[in-house]
Amino acid sequence: MQRRTLMKAALTAVTLTALGTSAAVAENPVLKIGFVGVTSGPAAAWGISNQRSMETRAAWINETGGVTIGDTTYDIEIVSFDDQKDPKRAIAGMEKMAQEGIHYVVGPNVDDGAAAVRPVAEANGIMYFPYAFPKSLYEPPASNAVLGMVANYQSGPAIYKYLMDEKGVKSVAFIAANESDPLSQRDGGVAAAEALGLDVVSANVTYQVDTTDFTPVLTPVMRTRPDLLVLSGVSPANAPQLIRSARELGFEGIISTETAQDAGVLAEGAGDLANGFISVGGASTPELASPMMNEFVQRYTDMFGEYNDESNTKVYALEYILETLKADPAAISDVDAFKTTMDSFEAPNPYMNGDAKLRYVGMSSFGQKRQVAVPLVVNVYKDGAFETLFVAEVD
């Protein structure tokens, strides 16, 4: 059953892309937007949800006649490069984007890749939107990277503060995979928690990326009996296992993370044990999702057979690129114009109910506007779906 739907979806996708490209040649000029990220191997889930979000949106735009920038209407083509989570490949990918004449790229997904592509991006006039948190990527003198989501050092404090005020959380324990991104996020989280006056009872425990059984890893953490357990930079594959092990070990406090998760994966991997799990998401909870967001989810599902909630945060980068280009058509081949426009750019956020705006932020974190203003939506998992806990803004 499952397989057949997947196959059908894949076939549809192939036909759609084929039709799309052939139609594009006939009608509109094509605007290429790049994606460099990991779409194979262990971390494939990160890049694939990214790539599919972009492809879904591009197909949707093309189906409805393209996007008008200045006087020209373009069809969007997504050019994807699989970097296999290898920084060396990521550089090759960025070179490929430069070769294709692309000036706007989404990705890479991890710290080392994002740092490695910087020289190429700056030399070739490419703006790129990584999903990596190191501040050095976004602070001057770096100027071509735009953080594509909310960083953990921004969402972490908001979540901890909320839990302190609302749930009386006093002590916190951190656990992270022994790998660059999660460890950096853990260090950021620990600093934030200490600044808020939380008692950090355990922050040293790490696990290997390939761990499949977390009971031995979590046993010593559970001894410290924290009120809150933070899974720093946890990958969607590990989150359900960690939650399950912690609960089975008798943990009764709150579990949270600062990365985006998928409700379906949590439901399958941890079931009811995941109830109450707090994570950061985009705007797809029923309270917040605009009709456009719902249509996006529907189109994604039709195209690929199954939605991934991680895409809630990944739907934005492409939208930002296109909207900024609309605001300043000269930027289509000139990233300096893009950078100037970023300072004053503002447009309504089509994916969220209410009067949320698309704009660039990051002054307080980076000293320049190098981050997309994604609403900081903190979700809580309940019986197979996410509910909104609270919404905050990043400045």
Partner 1 sequence: MGFSSKQMMGLGVFLFAIFVGVPLLIGATGRWDFYFTLTSVALLAIASAGVWLTFYIGRINIGQGAFALIGAYVSAILVVKAGWSFWLSLPAAGLFAALVAVLIGLPILRLRGVYFAMITLVLTQVVTLTALALPITNGAKGISNIPLPSGLSLFGIPLIPDFGSMENTKLAFYLTACILMVVTYAALYRLVNSRLGHLCRSMQQNEELASSIGVNIAYIRIVIFAISSFFGGLGGAMFGSIAQSVYPSSFQVADSVNFMLNCFLGGLGYVFGPMLGTLVLYFGWDLLFEFGKYQMLIYSTLLILIIRFLPNGLLSIRFSKGDKS
Partner 2 sequence: MEQILANGVYLGSQYAMIALGLTLIFALMNVLNFAHGQMYVIGGFVTYTVYGQLGLPFVVALVMSCVTLAILGALIEKFLFAPVIKGSAREESTMLLAAGIAFFLDALILIIFGEKQRGVPKIVNGVFNYDFRLIMPYDRILICGLAILSIVAFIGLMQYTKTGRALRALAQDRTAAQLMGVNVDRYSMIGFALGAMLAGLVGGLLVTITGVNLGMGGPTSIKAFMMVMIGGAGVISGAIWGGIILGFMEAIGLAVLSQYGDITYLLIFISLMIFLAIRPQGLMGKPWG
Query: Which residues are at the interface with partner 1 (CB under 8 A)?
Result: 39-40, 80-82, 84-89, 91-92, 95-96, 98-99, 110-112, 115-116, 118-120, 123, 134, 136, 178-184, 187
Residues 23-42 that bind partner 2 (CB under 8 A): 39-42
Token duo for residue 213: 């059984």
Q: Is 383 left (phi over 0), alpha (psi -120 to 50) or beta?
A: left
When asked if residue 204 is in the footprint of partner 2 (CB under 8 A), the reply is yes
Question: Beta strand pairing status for 72-82 and 278-281?
Answer: unpaired
Helices 291-304 and 2-26, packing angle to 10 deg: 110
Applying CB under 8 A, among 178, 294, 333, 344 the residue interacting with partner 2 is 178
Are the CB atoms for 30 and 323 separated by under 8 Å?
Answer: no
CA distance 55 to 160: 35
Contact between 208 and partner 2 by CB under 8 A: the answer reads yes
* DSSP 3-state of 289: strand
The enclosing H or E element of 31 equals strand 30-37
Nearer to partner 2, 140 or 250 (CB): 250
> Which residue carries 């900081």 as its tokens?
376
Question: Closest separation between CB of residue 235 and partner 1, Å?
Answer: 14
Residue 42 touches which of partner 1, partner 2, none (CB < 5 to 8 A by kind)?
partner 2
Q: How far is the CB of 96 from partner 1 (least distance, A)?
A: 5
Q: Rounded to an integer, what distance in angstroms lies between the CA atom of residue 384 and that of residue 303?
A: 22
Give the containing element (helix H, strand E) for 98.
helix 87-99
Cα 275 from Cα 226, distance rounded (Å) = 18
Q: Pick one of partner 2, partner 1, none as the site partner of residue 92 (Cβ within 5 to 8 A by kind).
A: partner 1
Tokens of 289: 């999702």
Interface with partner 2, residue 265, by CB under 8 A: yes
Contact characters 44-83, partner 2, x per CB under 8 A = xx--xx----------------------------------
Rule CB under 8 A: is residue 383 a binding residue for partner 2? no
Residues pairing with 334 in the sheet: none
Task: Tell me how many residues contact partner 2 (CB under 8 A).
Answer: 47
Q: Which is nearer to partner 1, 139 or 393 (CB)?
A: 139
Considering the rule CB under 8 A, would residue 43 count as an interface residue with partner 2? yes
Contacts of 2 (CB under 8 A, 6+ apart): none
Q: Which residues bind partner 2 (CB under 8 A)?
A: 1-3, 6, 10, 39-45, 48-49, 178, 183, 204-206, 208-210, 212-213, 215-217, 219-221, 236-238, 240-241, 248-250, 262, 264-265, 268-271, 306, 308
